[in-house]
Structure 1
Amino acid sequence: MEEESVTYSPPVKRSVLIAGHPTSISLEPIFWKALEIAARDAHQPVNALVAEIDEARMTVREPPNLTSALRQWLFGRALGG
């Protein structure tokens, strides 16, 4: 596997559709790339994966905001969970 260096960048805002509603999310480019890879691995669009993560975060007692949930989900995935 090719090793990539981390490039520190400010968040980039993108619009995604969740249940047919546009939502803006600001994530650093490295998280957008990780989300795109995770969606590709799951054979689904980024919007569908974001919607799944959004639905899952709402099942916890004190749900984090969507951006935080995405970062946590991606980090958990990177750790193998």
Structure 2
Amino acid sequence: MAIAAPPAGFAGPVKRSITIAGHQTSISLEPVFWRELEDAARDHGLPLSALVAEIDALRIVERDPPNLGSALRTWLFDRRQ
């Protein structure tokens, strides 16, 4: 069985600035992840920055935390399961 490219094509990461814990941070995610993150924030009734801050808080308690972008992608992937 052959595989196909995504209907919208492939896209590289887009950098956006978000304020979490009172400071600005830049996050680079592919557009599909930004859309999913916005949907998740809406589903949870939170502003995007608040959802990112919650995921960041979960990430930093890990023994060897991944970077924030990786944590967001992993959280979003797990959410789809």
TM-score relative to the length of structure 2: 0.89
- Deviations along 1:16-55, whole A, 9 cap, x unmatched? 0111100000000000000000000000100000000000
- Deviations along 1:41-71, whole A, 9 cap, x unmatched? 0001000000000000011111000000000
Larger radius of gyration: 2
Tell me how far apart the structure 2 counterparts of residues 60 and 10 of structure 1 sit (CA, whole Å): 28
Where do residues 40-59 of structure 1 align in structure 2 (5 Å cutoff)? 40-59=42-61
The match for 2:64 among 62, 65, 74 is 62
Q: Provide the residue aligned with 2:76 in structure 1.
A: 74
Q: Segments of 4+ in structure 1 off by > 2 A?
A: 4-7
Q: Provide the residue aligned with 1:10 in structure 2.
A: 12
TM-score relative to the length of structure 1: 0.89
Q: Note the aligned Cα RMSD (angstroms).
A: 1.3
Question: Is there any run of 5+ residues in structure 1 with no aligned partner, and where?
Answer: none
The match for 2:24 among 22, 25, 42 is 22
Tell me how far apart the structure 2 counterparts of residues 75 and 28 of structure 1 sit (CA, whole Å): 13
In the alignment of these two chains, the number of paired residues is 76
